[in-house]
Structure 1
Amino acid sequence: MTANAGRSGVRRKTTHDLADLVGKAVTPACRKRGFASLDLLSAWPDIVGGRYGERVRPVRLIWPRQGRDPVPGEQDPVCAATLLVHADGPTALFLSHETGQILSRINAFFGWQAVERIKIVQKPVTVRKPAEKKTLRGLTEAEESALEDKLSTVGNDRLRAALKKLGAQVIAKSDD
């Protein structure tokens, strides 16, 4: 009996979420900057809101050194970090007045008192313009009905709607 007994020799193709693959690749770079993962960086505009989402950039989480030995029976105290951010001059002034609220939002995101202080460094922040979305053409009635026919066997309404949207985009892009 060989080691490959029971295997057909055909490699199965599986799909993986792009976020999982990119997250694994970017995590070591994030850890060098003190971020445990990409989560804070990717959710930053949602945490601080539209006013500071593009004008303030988190740069590094600075964790304090654990100086003392833990006492037996006592829970090891976790010291909170300092978040280093870059902001331009006027934005830094406004941000300094709202650090309490932003700290509470950051800690709510983490689910524990992870950050105790925000250190603001006045530095120009480049604003990244989002890529222009290309408008797709509409489907013809024949294409629309063909797509509806293909999706008529799908029982779940939400799945059918998602597949219809995806199919319409694929058909519209195929002519380009």
Structure 2
Amino acid sequence: MAASVDASPAAAPRTPQQPQKPRTLADLIGKAMTPLCRKRGFASVDIVAAWPEIVGPRYGERVQPDRLIWSRRKDADGEDIAEPATLLVHTDGPTAMMLSHETGQIIERINAFFGWAAVGRIKIAQKPVMPRPKSRPRPPRPLTGEERARLDRQVEGVEDDRLREALRKLGERVIARGDAGKRS
């Protein structure tokens, strides 16, 4: 009997000339960063990327997550006991003192981010923090004469001068940003 040969395209090896499917940049960067984050105890790059949103503006730029330290305890049967990790962060001296008084709130925010009690304690090390690159917002475009006239008509009924001026400034920014995606 002759052996059957599977000629399906899935079984055929990919030749070097066949192009790969395009992949998003986020997939490529995430895959490159994830091993580095896992080496530091993080399951993925998510907490590092979302750090400023998790801890808020007070600590987002001044405190940096360094690693998660997972304790390795076993029960009587030799099974691993899942315990919350210790998050090691570094910051400068004055910020460390402020942070030490708010670790409970920070732990709650981190655990809310993870969706489970992943962190039980924060250990603070006083080291310099690498500043995050700041993105500068683009300045708003100038309004056209027609846009300015329409805005003036909309706020002319406001009697309070300070309120009218504040509404005019707000309107200018809203109108200028309305087509921000259209300009190049």
Report the TM range for the smaller structure's normalisation: 0.5 to 0.7
* Consecutive unaligned residues in structure 1, runs of 5 or more: 139-163
What is aligned with 1:68? 75
Greater displacement, 60-69 / 25-34: 60-69
The C-alpha deviation readout for 1:81-115, integer Å capped at 9, x for no partner, is 00000010110011001000000000111111111
Within the candidate set 2, 14, 25, 1:18 is matched to 25
Aligned equivalents of 2:116, 2:32: Cα separation in 1: 26
What is aligned with 1:112? 116
Greater displacement, 83-92 / 9-18: 9-18
What is aligned with 1:38? 45
Aligned equivalents of 1:110, 1:70: Cα separation in 2: 28
* Consecutive unaligned residues in structure 2, runs of 5 or more: 143-179
Within the candidate set 19, 29, 44, 2:36 is matched to 29
Aligned equivalents of 2:123, 2:129: Cα separation in 1: 15
Task: Give the TM-score normalised by structure 1.
Answer: 0.66
SS at match of 1:52: helix
Aligned equivalents of 2:47, 2:127: Cα separation in 1: 20
Percentage identity across paired residues of the two chains: 56
Whether 1:100 and 2:104 are equivalent positions in the alignment is yes
* Relative contact order, higher structure (CA 8 A, sep 6+): 1
Within the candidate set 122, 127, 133, 1:129 is matched to 133
Greater displacement, 44-53 / 9-18: 9-18
Within the candidate set 30, 55, 63, 1:48 is matched to 55
Letter in 1 for 2:38: R
| 4+ residue segments displaced more than 6 Å | 134-138
Letter in 2 for 1:101: Q
Whether 1:79 and 2:86 are equivalent positions in the alignment is no
* RMSD over equivalenced CA pairs, Å: 3.3
Distance 1:13 1:34, change over 3 A: closer
Count of aligned positions: 139
Aligned equivalents of 1:22, 1:69: Cα separation in 2: 42
